[in-house]
């Protein structure tokens, strides 16, 4: 199936009370694992590439991998730029065939964020591409940017209407307590999300798709396998899946997951190599990692996002 934008997918997700996974991709095994899991469960899927992913694969490999995946399966696949830092990278990706881009102006002032987002939206819409923006600032590590807890800030619901109407953006990522990476809460800290902020944003933006970044759950089973087979991973805590399940039923139409994929891939590779020290064919251990990611994505689609059967 050809690549699609998320416009119609989000309309269906909004009214159907489910969310679509924004899964980060970095190599062939991850692309295949995600799309094959989604295909098996008949779920639409968003494959997203960060600047780091583009650098690691090179843009041409990344694009061809995603195009190959879309051809390989019979479900709607969106090719999305994750955390576009400036107009140029968004323009590059739009010109290159991405069907969706994120312009992340969350580090700028409200007015600067609006001006930058509007510029990207004008360029993107002209080419039939949709745009995600961010208001509020998540804590955690993404690319080379590390936002400390003190510098993070929740989205102010009083800002969202003006932001969306002045930018004409297609979806909005908000900060309600999720954060990037594997260490979302300090030891002893109780995970919590500000559902009151989500509800207030939802009320001010009727029928409008909200996005949650930083939504990995750091599932215990993968952390335990990594530790069991010699990896170190201290006090990793993610967003509880029941909270994400609840969010998926609301105006949240896209939930971003990267760290959980990394953990699953690493657990699969470590387990394979530890249990089979004789393995040296990358197809065996990378194949195990790919199977772990496939199982993880199936679990997310079926038990967290609720998007199974919606393709």
How many residues touch ligand 13P (CB under 6 A)? 14
Contacts for 33 with CB less than 8 Å, ≥ 6 apart: 261, 290, 291, 293, 294, 297
DSSP 262: H
- Whole-Å CA distances, 11 to 171, 204, 206, 253, 271: 11, 17, 12, 9, 41
Provide the minimum distance between the beta carbon of 261 and ligand 13P in the complex, in angstroms, as a whole number. 7
Contacts for 141 with CB less than 8 Å, ≥ 6 apart: 147, 180, 181
Report the b/e string of 192-204 with b at 16+ CB within 10 A. Answer: ebeeebbebbbee
CB closer to ligand 13P, 114 vs 255: 255
Of 4-12, 14-22, 213-221, 242-250, which part binds Zn ion (CB under 5 A)? 213-221
Tokens of 167: 């930018």
The residues in 207-246 that bind ligand 13P, with binding defined as CB under 6 A, are 213-216
Provide the minimum distance between the beta carbon of 107 and ligand G3H in the complex, in angstroms, as a whole number. 14
Of 47-55, 70-78, 119-127, 232-240, which part binds ligand G3H (CB under 6 A)? 47-55
Distance CA 275, CA 288 (A): 12
Distance CA 176, CA 155 (A): 7
Q: Tokens 């899927």, residue?
A: 45
Binds Zn ion (CB under 5 A): choice among 213, 254, 271, 300: 213
Check if 82 is active-site: yes
Binds ligand 13P (CB under 6 A): choice among 6, 117, 259, 310: 259
Q: Which of 39, 82, 170, 260 is catalytic?
A: 82
Q: Is 104 in the site for ligand G3H (CB under 6 A)?
A: no
Q: Which residues of this protein are in contact with ligand G3H, per CB under 6 A?
A: 24, 50, 52-53, 82-83, 142-143, 180, 258
Q: Which residues of this protein are in contact with ligand 13P, per CB under 6 A?
A: 24, 82-83, 180-181, 213-216, 256-260
Residues with a known catalytic role = 82
């Amino acid at each position: 199936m050809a690549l699609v934008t998320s416009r119609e997918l989000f309309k269906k997700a909004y009214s159907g009370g489910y969310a679509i996974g924004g899964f980060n991709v970095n190599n062939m095994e991850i692309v295949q694992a995600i799309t094959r899991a989604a295909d098996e469960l008949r779920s639409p899927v968003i494959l997203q590439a960060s600047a780091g992913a583009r650098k690691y694969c090179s843009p041409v490999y990344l694009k061809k991998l995603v195009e190959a995946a879309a051809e390989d399966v019979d479900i709607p696949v969106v090719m999305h730029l994750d955390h576009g830092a400036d107009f140029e990278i968004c323009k590059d990706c739009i010109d290159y065939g991405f069907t969706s881009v994120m312009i992340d102006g969350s580090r700028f002032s409200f007015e600067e964020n609006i001006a930058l987002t509007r510029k990207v939206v004008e360029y993107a819409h002209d080419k039939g591409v949709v745009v995600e923006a961010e208001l509020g600032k998540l804590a955690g590590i993404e690319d080379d940017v590390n936002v400390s807890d003190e510098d993070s800030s929740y989205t102010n619901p009083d800002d969202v209407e003006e932001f969306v109407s002045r930018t004409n953006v297609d979806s909005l990522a908000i900060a309600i307590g999720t954060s990037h990476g594997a260490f979302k809460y300090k030891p002893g800290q109780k995970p919590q999300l500000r559902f009151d902020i989500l509800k207030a944003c939802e009320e001010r933006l009727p029928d409008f798709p909200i996005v949650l970044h930083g939504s990995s759950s750091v599932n215990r089973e993968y952390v335990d396998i990594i530790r069991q087979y010699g990896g170190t991973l201290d006090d990793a805590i993610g967003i509880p899946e029941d909270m994400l399940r609840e969010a998926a039923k609301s105006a949240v139409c896209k939930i971003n997951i990267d760290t959980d994929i990394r953990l699953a891939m690493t657990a699969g590779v470590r387990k394979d190599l530890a249990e089979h020290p004789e393995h040296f064919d990358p197809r065996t251990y990378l194949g195990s990692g790919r199977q772990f990611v496939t199982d993880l994505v199936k679990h997310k689609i079926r038990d967290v996002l609720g998007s199974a059967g919606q393709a």
